[in-house]
Amino acid sequence: MRTAVMLFTRDLRVHDNPALAAACAADLVVPLYVDDPGRATSPARRRFLAESLADLRGALRGLGADLLVRRGDTVAEVMRVCEAHGAAGVSCADDFGRFESGLRERLRQACDAAGVLLLRTAGVTAVPPGAVLPSGGGDHYKVFTPYWRAWSRTRRRPVEPAPERIPTPDGVNGDDPFAVLDVPPEANARFPGGEGAAADRLDAWAPRAEDYTERSDDLAADATSRLSPYLAFGCLSPRALAADGRLPDAFVRQLCWRDFHYQVLAAFPGLADTAYRGDEDWAEDPGALDAWRRGETGIDIVDAGMRQLLAEGWMPGRARLICAAHLTKTLGLDWRRGEAWFAEHLVDYDEANNAGNWQWTAGTGNDTKPYRRFSHERQAARFDPDGAYRRRWLS
Ligand SMILES: Cc1cc2nc3c(=O)[nH]c(=O)nc-3n(C[C@H](O)[C@H](O)[C@H](O)COP(=O)(O)OP(=O)(O)OC[C@H]3O[C@@H](n4cnc5c(N)ncnc54)[C@H](O)[C@@H]3O)c2cc1C
């Protein structure tokens, strides 16, 4: 094929990017990112995205190419770029969920109508949804432990090196992502975006990773990787990360949880608004919901987590569990309210993992013990025994 469009989505990297590797089989490649208003965003995520695109653009320029950044409907923009450059193919990573599954179908139809070949590859997970299936039948695993066993044994695609060079047609003049994306000045900049920043974070954290098994739930220790925004935007390849020999099994198991929720979302695209199994009769209490959102419930461990979310756009997993359990199991409020609040504030927001974890905590999802109770006193005593985490966020 003479020319292919490489549509970057949530795979903002040049290393181990299967869609980019596939596009590079063409003679010429047009790298493109479309900022689609249909995709959920937030000020902090816009900043992270703009920084990641600027970093990607720099990497592509180093390989002889550039990056077009357009704003609008993805399908319309892709077809416009195909027409402008006479492209015969489009390559992109497969993605899942409410917006992405609709987009996939519309892009397929538009490509079919224009006689353009659409190539969809793996890339947003370590193991793609559908690659491991339960032996008893069904299109996904409903329970984590058997999935983890099958996931650990499955053969993986090879890790792709970055292309050596990306030949690009004349007239591909890249765009400044900050000019196109319009990043609000107040956007939280706690996490610097980009593949370069992801590699720096990983290299800085890897020597401490051996503590992960013991300390990942210790709230004050802040001993988890904080790699989640990089995984959510694909600045880091989950496939390559899962094979990084420096990281303990307990960490790789968390990456498997990430894939687990993706394979649930692929089979059940409505995960963010429809209960996966029977729903509860949730209470309505706008005052209690508002206090929870602002970190003013009066329960220290919950308030500390919720204030960290407002300040950093991020919380450790244990704090997310405690806050989500308080909203759903203690206050009896609808998990969708919490899911939406997290979606608005998390810099690492990811539909599969936000919705999957909210449903798990609420007992409407994939937990095998849906009626489990969380005592905030016990959680605080166990995971913040001397109160250092609470003091950090409440004083
Ligand atoms: C209510 C709730 C909402 C959540 N929403 C999100 C979300 O929107 N985006 C998101 O990426 N994660 C979400 N998580 C999962 C998890 O809390 C975060 O991925 C993790 O805290 C990120 O910090 P880290 O990178 O330091 O994690 P680490 O502990 O260092 O783990 C490494 C990676 O493994 C994955 N991972 C870890 N825990 C989980 C888990 N329970 N489920 C799925 N993947 C996991 C993440 O990609 C994470 O970056 C949510 C969890 C809960 C309980």
Q: What is the pLDDT of residues 361-382, one digit of tens each?
A: 999 998 888 888 889 999 999 9
Confidence (pLDDT) at 250: 97
Q: How many CA atoms lie within 13 A of 140 on its CB side?
A: 19
Residue 1 lies in a domain: yes
Instruction: Confirm or reject: Cβ of 350 under 6 Å from ligand 1.
Output: yes
Comparing C-alpha atoms, which of 126, 124, 383, 363 is closest to residue 254? 126
Residue 272 lies in a domain: no
Question: Which helix (H) or strand (E) segment is 3 a member of?
Answer: strand 3-8
Q: Report the Cα 170 to chain-centroid distance in Å.
A: 34
Kindly give the distance from the C-alpha atom of residue 252 to the centroid of ligand 1, in angstroms, as a whole number. 12
Kindly give the distance from the C-alpha atom of residue 254 to the centroid of ligand 1, in angstroms, as a whole number. 8
Q: Give 204-220 pLDDT, tens digit per residue.
A: 999 999 999 999 999 99
Q: Give 96-155 pLDDT, tens digit per residue.
A: 999 999 999 999 999 999 999 999 999 999 999 999 999 989 999 999 999 999 999 999
Instruction: Confirm or reject: Cβ of 261 under 6 Å from ligand 1.
Output: yes
**7 and 112, same domain (yes or no):** yes
Identify the domain containing residue 113 by its residue range.
1-124
Q: Cα(239)–Cα(8) distance, rounded to whole angstroms? A: 17
Confidence (pLDDT) at 311: 96
* ∠ CA 128-352-33, rounded to 5°: 75
Phi then psi for 83, rounded to 5 degrees?
-65, -45
pLDDT at 186 over 90: no
Residue 139 lies in a domain: yes
Residue bearing the CA closest to ligand 1, atom 30 = 225
**Ligand 1: which of 254, 293, 345 to mutate, judged by most atoms within 8 Å of the beta carbon?**
254
Amino acid making up residue 131: A
Confidence (pLDDT) at 123: 96
**117 and 140, same domain (yes or no):** no
**205 and 225, same domain (yes or no):** yes
What lies within 8 Å, CB to CB, of 277 at 6+ separation is: 364, 365, 370
What percent of the chain is predicted at pLDDT more than 70?
Answer: 100
Residue 63 lies in a domain: yes
Counting atoms of ligand 1 from 1, which one is nearest the CA of 321? 53
b (16+ CB within 10 A) / e for 7-44:
bbbbbbbbbbbbbbbbbbebebbbbbbbbbeebebbbb
Residue where the block lists tokens 């493109």: 32
User: Residue 260 CB: number of other CB atoms within 10 A?
Assistant: 27
Q: Give 280-331 pLDDT, tens digit per residue.
A: 899 999 999 999 999 999 999 999 999 999 999 999 999 999 999 999 999 9
- pLDDT band, residue 1 (cuts 50/70/90): low
pLDDT at 65 over 70: yes
Q: Using the 3D structure, point to which of 204, 233, 267 is the last residue of a domain.
A: 267
C-alpha distances out from residue 262 to 31, 259, 302, 318, Å: 26, 5, 27, 20
Kindly give the distance from the C-alpha atom of residue 179 to the centroid of ligand 1, in angstroms, as a whole number. 31
Residue bearing the CA closest to ligand 1, atom 22 = 228
- pLDDT band, residue 188 (cuts 50/70/90): confident
Residues annotated in a binding site: 212, 224-228, 251, 348-350
Residues annotated in a binding site for FAD: 212, 224-228, 251, 348-350
**82 and 144, same domain (yes or no):** no
Kindly give the distance from the C-alpha atom of residue 104 to the centroid of ligand 1, in angstroms, as a whole number. 26
Q: Cα(58)–Cα(52) distance, rounded to whole angstroms? A: 10
Q: What is the dihedral angle through the alpha carbons of 305, 306, 310, 315, rounded to the nearest 10 degrees?
A: 40
**143 and 114, same domain (yes or no):** no
Kindly give the distance from the C-alpha atom of residue 176 to the centroid of ligand 1, in angstroms, as a whole number. 31
Q: Give 221-268 pLDDT, tens digit per residue.
A: 999 999 999 999 999 999 999 999 999 999 999 999 999 999 999 999
Instruction: Confirm or reject: Cβ of 11 under 6 Å from ligand 1.
Output: no
Instruction: Confirm or reject: Cβ of 225 under 6 Å from ligand 1.
Output: yes
Instruction: Confirm or reject: Cβ of 228 under 6 Å from ligand 1.
Output: yes
Of 1 and 84, the one with more pLDDT: 84
Instruction: Confirm or reject: Cβ of 3 under 6 Å from ligand 1.
Output: no
Instruction: Confirm or reject: Cβ of 226 under 6 Å from ligand 1.
Output: yes
Give me the number of domains the chain comprises.
3
List the CATH number of the domain containing 301.
1.10.579.10
**Ligand 1: which of 45, 253, 258 to mutate, judged by most atoms within 8 Å of the beta carbon?**
258
Kindly give the distance from the C-alpha atom of residue 336 to the centroid of ligand 1, in angstroms, as a whole number. 18
Question: Which helix (H) or strand (E) segment is 121 a member of?
Answer: strand 117-121
**46 and 143, same domain (yes or no):** no
**103 and 222, same domain (yes or no):** no
Confidence (pLDDT) at 373: 83
List the CATH number of the domain containing 212.
1.25.40.80
